[in-house]
A = this chain, B = another copy of it.
Amino acid sequence: MAEIKEILPDFPSGPLSNYRKQASFDWRNMAVVIDTEERLKFKHAIWKAMEEDPTFTHSVKDKDSSLDEIRNRTFEKALKVREIIPDTGFDFRTRAETSSVLGQYDWSVSLRYAILQSFFSNAIRGAGTKGHYKYVEAAEKQQIYGCVCMTEIGHGTNIRGLRTKATYVPSTQKFILNTPDFQAAKCWAGNLGKTANFAYVMAQLYTPDGVCHGLHGFVVPIRDSQLNTLPGVIIGDMGPKAGLNGLDNGFMMFNNYEIPKESLLNKNGDVTAEGTYVSPFKDPSKKFGASLGNLSGARVAITSLCSASLCNAVTIAIRYSAIRKQFGNPGSNEEMPIIEYQLQQWRLFPHLSAAYVLKYFSSVLFDNLMSFALSQFDSDMNQEVRAAWGMEIHAVSSSAKPLAGWLAQTAIQDVREACGGHGYLQCAGISRLRDDNDAFLTFEGENNVLMQQTSNWLINLWNDSKREVIIQKSKLGSLTFLLKAEQRLNNTFQPGTVEALLKPKVILGIYKWLVCYLLRLTAEKYQTLLAASDQDNFLAKNESQVFFARTLSLAYIEHFMLETFHNQLCQRPGLPEDIKNVLNKLFLLYGLWSLEKQHLGTLYEGGYFKGPKPSKLIRNAILGLCEDLKPEAVALVDSIAPTDFVLNSVLGASDGQVYKRLEQAMSQYPDSFAKSSNWSEFASRLKSKL
C-alpha cells in the first residue's frame, strides 16, 4: 500500500478538500479494487512518462493547426509510445489496457498506436500462414507502418457486399487488384491517408474461370520507402472529421495493381499455381466467418475505450460541480456549490454509477475473451462447448459495445450541459471527448444493426428445446435470467417501501423478468410476422426490431452488466465493508436509473408493475441514492480519474483551482490579447466619431 501511495499521492489541500473529507471510504483502496494494483502501476507509469516527455506536451493551439500538423504530431506521439511503455514486469492482460491509458490522453494517439502495433499484425496473423509472419514481426518493431482496409465507400455494415476484386492470373502467378468504381474504394482505414506503407486489404477472390470465392485478406505494399504511393494505387486522405483528427483516415483505389501470389493470406483458402481454388472449409459461410476473424475482439475493446471516456467525463463534471457556486438560500450570504442541488446530482451521479459498472464489466469481459482465446490450445476442451462460448461472447459484445458507446455519449453530453457555458470551451476538455467518442458509435458496424446479433441469438435460444441445458453450460453466465423463465414471467413487483426496493436481488429480479418478457414478446412477434409473410425471414427480422428486438438486446446487456458487477465485485469475499457499501449504492443507482429512464412503460405493460407504487418507489429511491452519494462523489471520481496532465481539463483538475486555470488557459491562448490580423480592414470601416 505504501507503493500505491507513491502512484496515487495525496491531493493538495484546496477547494475540493471539504468534499473529499466527507467520503465514507478510502479512495486509494477503491482505486485498487476497481483497477487492480498491477494496472494502476502500469497506467501511472505510462502517464508519468508522457508527462515528462516533451513529445506529449499538450499544445494550447491544437484546434488552431492544420490537419497536416495535427496528424504529424499525433503520429510522432504514436511512434514514441513504444519507447515509454514499461517493458517488463507486466503481464499481457495489463498491457491490454494500453489503448485506454493512451486514449484518456488522446484517442487519436491511442488508435494510431493500436493500428501500428496490433490491428495490422492481428489481421495478418489471423488470416495468414507462416510465410506472412515476417510482416507481423516488422510491424511490431515499427519497421513497416501497417493499416487495415476492409470498409468501402458503399459498404460498411454489410461487409459481404465489398467489391474490391483480386483476380488470379496463372501466367504471371500474380493477383491483380482492381477497384471497379469509387463506391468500391477502400476507406476509413486509419494510418492509410498519409503514413502506411503496407495494407491488409480485404477483397473478393476471383479465379481465372471467373468464379468468385468470396472475401479474402491480402497483404499489400502501397507506398515506397519515400512514402510515395506506388503506381497503380491511388490514396487520398478523407479530410476533416467530427473528431479524431489526429488520425489520417484514408481512401484507396487500385487500378490493375499486381501483387505476388504470396500476398494472399491463405489460412482459410488458397489458389494453386494453376489457379484452382482450395480451402480447408467446405461450408462457404464457415469460411466467411473464419475470414472475418474474431470480430468480438474489437467490440470488447471498444467497450473498454468508451468506459475510459466516461471516467474522464464524470471526473470533470463532478469536480467542477463541487467548486462552482451559483445561487444560494436567500437567508445566507454564501452561494451554494451546484453539487448540492438535487437537479445537478440527478444529472451527474447516474453517469458516475454507469462509469463504475461499465468499467468493471468491460474488464471482466476482456478477461473472458482472453480465456476464450487461450482455450484454443486446450485440447481437453469440448469443441461444442467452445463454439457456444464463442457465440455467447459474440452476443454479449454485440450489445455491450453499443450500450457502452451510448452510455459514454449521453454522459458526455449531460456533463457538457451540467458545466454550463464554461463546458463549451475547448479547455474544459469535454467537446474533445464527445467528438472522439462519437466515432465509436459507428465503428465495427452501426450500433443498431450490431445489436441484432444479440437478439437473433436470444430468439434462437428461446425456441431451442435444449434451452435449460445451454443455460447451465453458459460460460459467461449471461443467461441466468432465462432459468425457469415461464415461472418468472408470473412474478410481480413486491416491495412496499424504498428500503425493500433497495436490494440487489430485487433490482436484478425486475431485470430478469423484463428480459424474459421482452424475449417472449419478440419471439412471438417474429413468429407472427414470419407466418404472415410466407416465411420471409428478412422481413420478419426487420419488422420486429423497434420496441422488441432492439429493447431486448439492451435490457439483456444491462442485466448482465449489473449481475456481473454485483456477483463478481460487490459480493467479492474480503471486500472492505466501506468499499462494498458504496459500490452497492452505485449498483442500485445504475440499475434503477436505467429502469426508470427506459423500461417503466414495459414493466407496467407486462403487468409486473401495477398501480402508482412501483414507479413512485423507484423515483424516490433514485433521489435518495443521489443524496447518499453526494458526500462520496468527489472521492469516487478521484478513484477512477486519470492524472491532471492526462485529463487536461481546466474544470476537472484535482486541485479544484478552476478559476486560476481558466484564467491561465484563456490568457495563454497564443492570440488571446492580439489584435485581429485583419484589424486595419475592420477599423477602416468604422465611421463614427462617438
Contacts and interface: CB of A to CB of B under 8 A. Distances in A.
Interface stretch (A8-16, A568-576, A596-604, A631-639): A596-604
A546 B619 CA distance: 9
B64 A67 contact: yes
Contacts of A680: 226
Contacts of A127: none
B539 A329 contact: yes
A615 interface: yes
Contacts of A327: 157-158, 161
Given A71-B676, A543-B342, A145 B686 contact: yes
Contact of A446 (B228, B420, B546, B547): B420
Contact of A612 (B227, B423, B596, B607): B607
Contact of A341 (B542, B614, B675): B542
A228 B335 CA distance: 37
A237 B514 CA distance: 53
A138 interface: yes
A153 interface: yes
A682 B227 CA distance: 8
Interface string A408-437: 010001001100111111110011001100
A160 to B, nearest CB: 9
Given A343-B545, A423-B442, A448-B343, A198 B431 contact: no
B68 A677 contact: yes
B236 A672 contact: yes
Contacts of A427: 239-240
A21 interface: no
A241 B62 CA distance: 11
Interface string A66-81: 1111011001100100
A616 B248 CA distance: 47
Contacts of A601: 596, 600-601, 604, 615
Contacts of A387: none
A195 interface: yes
A537 B83 CA distance: 60
A512 interface: no
A591 interface: no
A497 to B, nearest CB: 17
Contacts of A242: 416, 424-426, 430-431, 434
Contact of A688 (B67, B143, B416, B449): B143
A225 interface: yes
Nearest to A154: B659
Given A63-B240, A71-B676, A420 B226 contact: no
A72 B417 contact: no
A119 interface: no
A351 B611 CA distance: 32
Contact of A72 (B155, B158, B241, B677): B677
A195 B676 contact: yes
A464 interface: no
Interface in A302-334: 325-331
Given A72-B676, A420-B446, A446-B420, A426 B241 contact: yes
Interface stretch (A209-217, A264-272, A286-294, A663-671): A663-671
A542 B659 contact: no
Contacts of A42: none
Contact of A425 (B76, B79, B158, B238): B238
B442 A421 contact: yes
Interface in A502-537: 536
A441 B426 contact: no
Contacts of A423: 442
Contacts of A417: 441-442, 446-447
Nearest to A72: B678
Nearest to A195: B682
A166 B513 CA distance: 65
A64 B66 contact: yes
Contacts of A675: 194, 227-228
A188 interface: yes
A256 interface: no
16 contacts: A68-B671, A76-B678, A138-B690, A143-B687, A154-B325, A161-B327, A188-B421, A227-B683, A239-B666, A242-B424, A242-B425, A243-B431, A343-B449, A347-B448, A424-B442, A546-B622
4 shortest interchain CB distances as A-B pairs: A600-B601, A242-B431, A239-B669, A604-B604
